[in-house]
């Protein structure tokens, strides 16, 4: 099994314990996603320490205030590291309103350009206020205009109404723990209908623990619980789902 999106440096337990528990649960590869402000380097350092850990580098949209050319150059330089397998997470977030929209857009477009130039996949964060779609719509518009053939991962996929649009574009959708919640039937249906070659699973640890451990801090080992729910939604054995997402992650991240 794989965890296509985690933040080891934000989790409560020590890094070594998290990795050991993940391996014991059968999670053999994980992408440790940087957020900017020194945490990209932390993500890379963890990847240097553990053969099962790889890194992504970027600047989160909620922290995009003041994003400039110098920051873009830092991310581009880090992207050359052999353990870095993706750019991001980046995108648009109109839920928290902690960074000006113009700065978010600037940071997002710069990171799309880095991913395209470095030939790395880009990890996308998108979140709207309840009932709104402006952030998701803008993300699709930017990617359509600027991403070219850059592989796209829609992390913590939460826009089931755009699942068919994502599939049409060949973008990967990564399903997190909230897919397992009782009220998330639309997400499970999206996971069921997505072409197998575009399917990924993740924890987004320490956030969004699956229903089995809901209310506790999430960690990479728990991606197995999300994967079991996705497998059930698709009507396939867990082992088949495991093979599918492992192959997809290997293809997109090159690990």
Question: What is the reported pLDDT for 221?
Answer: 98
Question: What is the reported pLDDT for 37?
Answer: 87
Name the pTM for this structure: 0.97
Question: What is the reported pLDDT for 85?
Answer: 98
Query: Which residue stretches of the chain are H helix?
Result: 15-24, 39-49, 69-78, 101-118, 134-146, 163-169, 185-193, 223-234, 238-253
The C-alpha atoms of residue 119 and residue 27 are separated, in whole angstroms, by 26
pLDDT digits (tens, 9 = 90+) for 148-165: 999 999 999 999 999 999
Instruction: Find out whether 54 and 32 touch, Cβ atoms under 8 Å.
Output: yes
Question: What is the reported pLDDT for 92?
Answer: 98
pLDDT digits (tens, 9 = 90+) for 40-74: 999 999 999 999 999 999 999 999 999 999 999 99
* Tally of CB atoms within 10 A around 68: 11
Question: What CATH number is given to the structural domain containing 49?
Answer: 3.20.20.140
In which domain, by residue range, is 210 found? 2-253
Chain centroid to Cα 178, Å, comes to 14
Query: Which residue stretches of 25-68 are H helix?
Result: 39-49
Q: Can you give the pLDDT of all 255 residues of the chain as single tens digits? A: 999 999 999 999 999 999 999 999 999 999 999 999 899 999 999 999 999 999 999 999 999 999 999 999 999 999 999 999 999 999 999 999 899 999 999 999 999 999 999 999 999 999 999 999 999 999 999 999 999 999 999 999 999 999 999 999 999 999 999 999 999 999 999 999 999 999 999 999 999 999 999 999 999 999 999 999 999 999 999 999 999 999 999 999 999
Render the burial of 40-50: b for 16+ CB within 10 Å, e for the rest.
bebbbbbbeeb
Question: What is the reported pLDDT for 97?
Answer: 84
How many domains does the chain contain in total?
1
Instruction: Find out whether 105 and 137 touch, Cβ atoms under 8 Å.
Output: no
């Amino acid at each position: 099994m794989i965890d296509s999106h985690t933040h080891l440096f934000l989790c409560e337990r020590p890094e070594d314990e998290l990795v050991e528990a993940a391996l014991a649960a059968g999670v053999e590869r994980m992408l440790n996603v940087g957020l900017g402000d020194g945490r990209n380097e932390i993500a890379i350092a963890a990847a240097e320490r553990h053969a099962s850990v790889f890194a992504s580098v970027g600047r989160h949209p909620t922290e995009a205030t003041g994003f400039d050319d110098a920051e873009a150059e830092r991310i581009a330089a880090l992207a050359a590291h052999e353990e870095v397998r993706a750019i991001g997470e980046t995108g648009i977030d109109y839920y928290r309103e902690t960074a000006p929209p113009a700065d978010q857009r600037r940071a997002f477009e710069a990171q799309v350009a880095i991913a395209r130039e470095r030939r790395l996949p880009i990890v996308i964060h998108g979140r709207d206020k309840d009932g709104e779609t402006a952030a998701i719509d803008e993300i699709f518009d930017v990617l359509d205009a600027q991403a070219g053939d850059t592989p796209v991962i829609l992390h913590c996929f939460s826009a089931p109404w755009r699942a068919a649009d994502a599939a049409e574009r060949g973008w990967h959708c990564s399903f997190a723990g909230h897919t397992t919640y009782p009220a998330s039937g639309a997400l499970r249906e999206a996971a069921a209908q997505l072409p197998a070659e575009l399917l990924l699973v993740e924890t987004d640890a320490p956030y969004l623990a699956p229903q089995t451990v809901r209310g506790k801090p999430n960690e990479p080992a728990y991606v197995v619980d999300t994967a079991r729910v996705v497998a059930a939604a698709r009507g396939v054995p867990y082992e088949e789902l495991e093979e599918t997402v492992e192959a997809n992650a290997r293809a997109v991240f090159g690990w």
